[in-house]
């Protein structure tokens, strides 16, 4: 099995590179922006046609949600055009595209968890650019898995857990949004999920391609999540004390990009089709000393 991984230095890409290294009979090329600019169509085609991968796992993305409101052109260039070029190249060599997308393709207005067939309606540029990337993959590649995920965290890159731990060291009191809900998702679990899907596709012709949701199994607010982060950090002596936490409404914490109030993703489809259970984010916090 030959696998091309893009975005190999990002949160998920780092885990993909590490986990694939220990797989027998898997040949991997893992690239970051320095090795491959996915917005350069000819560069993408050259690499893909030379390597002839069976799978292209696209973990590259412009993920700075607030910055995307200002730098709209770059967000679309990476999240839409990059996905388009990878999809077209994959089709040339009959490869499967595994493409990471986001809960932010939804506006968060539903009062239940989102299923894959719910109509996307992003309320910020980041979500709109990622939705455009999804559409490009669907249009130009016949064999694809689009994996929407949410609230990604891990030992690598920038994320909410790392931010909380840093602020917890600096401040005695923090105000955290308590009316936005979602499923925190460990980046290492996303990587293992993508690899598991690739292996199952590689070993079976009976695969339902399409869009899947994958996120943490227990939905919480950002405030609830921060409570668990500091509980784990103090129990494991990463922090001497937890700051005082105050739950505040979104209206009291305005950001350039509007966030969905409901980012809860229903993960039943991926469990039914692939036997993959939701990410255990509580367990991932047990290793919280690695996030400092």
Place of tokens 């980012």: 263
- Please tell me the distance from the alpha carbon of residue 235 to that of residue 2, in angstroms, as a whole number: 43
**Nearest by Cα to 260 from 230, 219, 229, 214:** 219
- Please tell me the distance from the alpha carbon of residue 191 to that of residue 196, in angstroms, as a whole number: 9
Q: Are 108 and 162 in contact (CB under 8 A)?
A: no
126 is catalytic: yes
210-213 sheet: strands from edge to edge: 27-31, 2-6, 55-58, 96-102, 144-149, 210-213
Q: Which of 15, 126, 156, 186 is catalytic?
A: 126
- Please tell me the distance from the alpha carbon of residue 106 to that of residue 89, in angstroms, as a whole number: 28
For the stretch 135-158, what's the b/e string if a residue is b when 16 or more beta carbons lie within 10 angstroms of its beta carbon? Answer: ebbbebbeebbbbbbbbbbbbbbe
Burial class of residue 71, CB neighbours in 10 A (0-12, 13-18, 19+) = middle
**Catalytic residue list:** 126
């Amino acid at each position: 099995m030959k696998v091309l991984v893009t975005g190999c230095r990002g949160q998920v890409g780092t885990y993909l590179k590490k986990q694939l290294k220990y797989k027998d009979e898997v040949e991997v090329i893992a690239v970051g922006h320095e090795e491959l600019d996915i917005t350069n169509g000819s560069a993408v085609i050259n690499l893909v046609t030379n390597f002839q991968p069976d799978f292209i796992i696209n973990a590259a993305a412009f993920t700075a949600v607030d910055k995307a409101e200002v730098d709209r052109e770059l967000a679309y260039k990476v999240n839409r055009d990059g996905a388009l070029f990878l999809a077209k190249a994959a089709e040339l060599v009959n490869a499967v595209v595994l493409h990471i997308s986001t809960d932010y393709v939804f506006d968060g207005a539903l009062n239940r968890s989102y299923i894959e067939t719910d109509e996307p309606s992003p309320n910020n540029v980041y979500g709109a650019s990622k939705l455009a990337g999804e559409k490009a993959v669907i249009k130009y590649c016949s064999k694809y898995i689009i994996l929407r995920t949410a609230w990604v965290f891990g030992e690598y890159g920038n994320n909410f857990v790392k931010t909380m731990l840093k602020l917890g060291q600096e401040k005695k009191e923090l105000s955290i949004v308590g009316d936005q809900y979602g499923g925190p998702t460990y980046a290492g679990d996303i990587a293992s999920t993508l690899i598991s899907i690739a292996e199952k596709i590689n070993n079976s012709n009976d695969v339902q391609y399409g869009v899947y949701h994958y996120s943490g199994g227990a939905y919480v607010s950002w405030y609830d999540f921060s409570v668990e982060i500091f509980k784990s950090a103090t129990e494991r002596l990463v922090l001497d004390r937890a700051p005082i936490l105050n739950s505040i409404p979104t209206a009291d914490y305005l950001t350039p990009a509007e966030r969905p109030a409901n980012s809860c993703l229903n993960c039943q489809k991926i469990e039914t089709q692939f036997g993959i259970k939701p990410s255990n984010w509580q367990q991932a916090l047990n290793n919280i000393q690695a996030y400092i």
